[in-house]
């Protein structure tokens, strides 16, 4: 570590590109994260590169509301806009796709969404059933959607998979469909962690720690049940962090 500090002090300039190049992190994830951070903090987007193709993309939140959904939507919208694309926000999850509830969202449309809980776009636990697929396909065709970002839990993943599996019957589904995990259960395929998991873990640890203090003071036994469906990740991590007498 001290060698890194010495190299930083020896750098002729203290700018971030110079420092990261000295430490060999210029092509790493830190530089990408820092670039994204600076992009999201801009007051207004810069002009897109001339001649770049403009895509029409859509974003929706599905399943129960989860902390971090609004932050993810804000990041997706601003990164798309600054890249020269047009972003459509779908209201009320896949129900909004069925009913055609799409509105264009711009840079300032998502201002202040980051720290807010729930889902500003609105969400729904309903899956995209087979009878609703035709309406969803019509909505995608009507609004000329060329890519779909789905943020949510298991129900949202199921709906996205139904769209993928019906591509042979509905040409409108032949677009990139990306799922971003947002669930405290941490039981979603393709990712080890969910955007909501850290916040909920911290909240459960704080609450259980207070219960543990009361149990020790009064010599009583408390049973604490945490969420997580059949995955058990929250129970496991809470048990490792708080050292309960038993963890089931």
Residue 38 inside a domain? The answer is no
Residue that wins the pLDDT comparison between 178 and 187: 178
Q: How far apart are the C-alpha atoms of 155 and 140, rounded to whole Å?
A: 20
User: C-alpha distances in angstroms, 9 versus 4, 21, 213?
Assistant: 9, 14, 47
Query: Domain for residue 26, yes or no?
Result: no
Most confident of 101-110, 113-122, 200-209: 101-110
Q: Is the per-residue pLDDT at 61 higher than 80?
A: yes
> 52 and 84 in contact (C-beta within 8 Å)?
yes
Domain count, the chain: 2
Residue 230, pLDDT > 80, answer no
**For position 149, what pLDDT does the model report?**
97
pLDDT at site 101: 93
Same-domain pairing of 172 and 203: no
Share of the chain above pLDDT 90, in %: 36
Comparing 24 with 245, the larger pLDDT belongs to: 245
Distances (CA, A) of 189 to 3, 81, 93, 122, 156: 41, 29, 20, 24, 12
User: Which tens digits make up the pLDDT trace of 25-59?
Assistant: 545 677 777 777 777 777 677 777 777 789 999 99
Q: In which domain, by residue range, is 140 found?
A: 56-181
**What pLDDT sits at residue 51?**
77
Range in 71-75, 82-86, 163-167, 220-224 the model is least confident about: 220-224
Check whether residue 81 and residue 160 sit in a common domain. Answer: yes
Mean pLDDT value of segment 219-248: 78
> 205-208 long-range contacts, Cβ below 8 Å, gap at least 24?
205/238, 205/241, 205/242, 208/238, 208/242, 208/244
Report the CATH number that the domain containing residue 148 is assigned in CATH.
Answer: 3.40.50.450
Classify 122 in phi/psi space as left (phi over 0), alpha (psi -120 to 50) or beta: left
| One domain for residues 203 and 176 | no
Residue-level pLDDT at 15 = 58
Statement to judge: residues 150 and 84 lie in one domain: yes
CA 244 to CA 215: how far, in whole Å? 11
Quickly state the pLDDT bin for 241 (edges 50, 70, 90): confident
Same domain, 110 and 205: no
Pair 161, 76 in one domain: yes
What value does the CA radius of gyration of the chain take, rounded to a whole number of Å? Answer: 22
Residues 66 and 131 in one domain: yes
């Amino acid at each position: 570590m001290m060698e890194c500090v010495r190299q930083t002090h020896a750098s002729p300039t203290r700018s971030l590109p110079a420092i990261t190049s000295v430490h060999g992190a210029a092509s790493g994830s830190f530089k990408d994260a820092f670039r994204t951070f600076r992009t999201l903090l801009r007051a207004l987007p810069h002009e897109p590169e001339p001649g770049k193709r403009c895509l029409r993309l859509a974003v929706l939140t599905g399943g129960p509301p989860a902390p971090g959904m609004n932050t993810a939507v804000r990041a997706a919208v601003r990164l798309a806009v600054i890249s020269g694309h047009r972003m459509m926000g779908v209201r009320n999850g896949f129900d909004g796709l069925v009913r055609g509830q799409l509105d264009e969202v711009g840079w300032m449309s998502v201002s202040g969404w980051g720290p807010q809980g729930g889902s500003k776009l609105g969400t729904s636990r309903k899956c995209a059933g087979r009878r609703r697929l035709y309406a969803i396909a019509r909505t995608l065709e009507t609004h000329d959607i060329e890519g779909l970002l789905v943020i949510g839990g298991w129900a949202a993943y199921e709906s996205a998979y139904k769209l993928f599996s019906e591509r042979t019957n509905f040409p409108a589904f032949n677009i990139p469909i990306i799922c971003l995990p947002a669930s405290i259960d941490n039981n979603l395929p393709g990712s080890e962690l969910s955007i909501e998991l850290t916040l909920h873990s911290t909240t459960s640890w704080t609450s259980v720690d207070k219960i543990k203090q009361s149990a020790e003071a009064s010599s009583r036994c408390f049973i604490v049940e945490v969420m997580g469906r059949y995955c058990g990740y929250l129970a496991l991590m809470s048990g490792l962090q708080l050292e309960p007498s038993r963890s089931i």
